[in-house]
Amino acid sequence: MKVIQFLWIILAFVVLSSCRNNQGSGIGTVSSDEELASLNAQIAKNDKDASLYLKRAGIFFNRQLLNDALADLNKVLELEPKSTPGYLLLSKVYILMGKPQQALESLNVACNLDPGSMEAFLEKAKLYLVMKDYENCAVAVDKVLELDNRNADAYFIRGVALDENGEAAKAVEAFRLAVTSDPGHYDALMQLGYAFSESNPSMAIDYFSNAVKADTSSIEALYNLGMLLQENEKQDRALEIYDKILRIEPTNKLALYNSGYVNLVYEKEFSKAADFFSRAITIDSAYTDAYYNRGYAYELNGDIQKARKDYERVLQLRVNDPKAVGGLNRLDRAAR
């Protein structure tokens, strides 16, 4: 199963946890300069209030001012040594600093201070996953599910760990449990879409469609949905999806190329196809497949000179390309 280039995504998941997991930790909200100035003023008046330092550390963390965040967290733990939120945020700072062992130590303290902290055990599970310590990851996941047997993130992490260990069927079941617990769990929906792309395209289309609903701006979800629709005789819908991508990201060369391909191969709209390929070439001047297909669209539309020019351009970029050679041979035979 394909796991969405997942190592870096999981790391981001550890560092930038969702807002539902940030309550009480002082992070996850957009802060203004005015808010920071207000906190500075409050700390100047009351430098023994650990909660003020924790809030300011959260602002520094969000702005990736890690040394400043670390200094404030040290002050938090000096004033309030049993601050579970302090240790949770400290672990996130250490991760961004590239210090996973210190992050783990902070999480262990947080778990010992508050054995009922689902957030702390969930963060441990994520960190163990990144560290590829699957045994301890499973222990932390089990603890989260002991506290909340419908925690979608825990099931999702279990699924990734199982998949990385080659247990695809069990991974799918874990991702399904994640979606059962949270029908809008984007990452689990994406994994299920990938899992069924070949064996059950109709089901995969449903999963990718739901992923798009969960994150309407996700280029990845839209693109995979478009490709499946294109490959399964739903070309009109595929074009609609590619159009959505291009409204979000007008320079997405793959959406442009695929729009051209659908118009060329299925719709027989050769002028439209050539226009899409031209737009893709504007973005990537070495896009050989776009040059070839534009040339073929020109050929089918009777514009032989433009077709020849594109086939020759392909051969400049990719010597002896068989399709371009074939295209030129067709043009030569037609000219006799």
Confidence (pLDDT) at 326 = 97
Give the right CATH number for 251-336 from 1.10.1050.10, 3.30.160.270, 3.40.50.740, 1.25.40.10: 1.25.40.10
Residue 15 has pLDDT above 50, yes or no: no
Confidence tier at 14 by pLDDT (50, 70, 90): very low
Q: Residue 34: how many CB atoms within 10 A of its CB?
A: 8
Distance CA 196, CA 286 (A): 33
Q: Answer for the pair 223, 245: CB distance below 8 angstroms, yes or no.
A: yes
Q: What angle do CA 19, 22, 27 make, to 5 degrees?
A: 95
pLDDT average, residue stretch 84-93: 97
pLDDT at residue 18 tops 90: no
Each residue of 272-313: pLDDT tens digit?
999 999 999 999 999 999 999 999 999 999 999 999 999 999
Phi, psi for 218 (deg, rounded to 5): -75, 110
Which burial class, exposed, middle or buried, applies to 120 when counting CB atoms under 10 A from its CB (0-12, 13-18, 19+)? buried
Domain assignments of the chain as residue spans, ordered by start: 251-336
Which pLDDT score is estimated for 26? 43
- What pLDDT, on the 0 to 100 scale, is given for residue 31? 56
What's the gap between Cα 59 and its chain centre? 24
Share above pLDDT 90 across residues of the chain, in percent, rounded to a whole number? 89
Q: Which residue has the higher pLDDT, 106 or 4?
A: 106
Count CB neighbours of 233 within 10 A: 10
- Per-residue model confidence (pLDDT) at position 28: 44
Q: Is the predicted pLDDT of residue 120 greater than 80, yes or no?
A: yes
Instruction: Calculate what percentage of the chain has a pLDDT beyond 70.
Output: 91
Whether residue 217 is predicted with pLDDT greater than 90 in this model: the reply is yes
Residue 37: CB atoms within 10 A of its CB come to 10
Rounded CA-CA distance 180/315 in Å is 52
Model confidence over 154-189: pLDDT tens digits? 999 999 999 999 999 999 999 999 999 999 999 999
Q: What is the pLDDT of residue 2?
A: 56
Higher pLDDT, 254 or 19: 254
The helix/strand/coil state of 260 is helix
Confidence (pLDDT) at 45:
96
CB 238 within 8 A of CB 258: yes
pLDDT recorded at residue 328:
97
Q: What is the mean pLDDT of the chain?
A: 92
Give the pLDDT band of residue 127 (cuts 50, 70, 90).
very high
Question: Minimal CA–CA distance to 175: which of 152, 146, 142, 208?
Answer: 152
Is the pLDDT at 115 greater than 90, yes or no? yes
Cα-Cα-Cα-Cα dihedral of 223, 225, 227, 231, to 10°? Answer: -170
Read off the pLDDT of residues 236-262 as tens digits, 9 standing for 90 and up: 999 999 999 999 999 999 999 999 999
* Burial of residue 283 (number of CB atoms within 10 Å: 0-12, 13-18, 19+): middle
171 sits in the region (left: phi over 0; alpha: psi -120 to 50; else beta) called alpha
Q: Within a 13 Å sphere around the CA of 97, how many CA atoms are in the beta-carbon half?
A: 19
Cα 331 to Cα 316: distance, rounded to the nearest angstrom:
18
Q: How high is the pLDDT of residue 215?
A: 97
Per the document, the length of the chain is: 336
pLDDT of the residue at 33:
87
- Mean pLDDT to the nearest integer, 134-157: 98
Q: What is the DSSP letter of 21?
A: G
20 closest CA partner among 29, 11, 31, 33 = 29
The tens digit of pLDDT for each residue in 259-280 reads: 999 999 999 999 999 999 999 9
Q: The tokens 């769990």 sit on which residue?
A: 185
**pLDDT in the model for residue 1:** 61
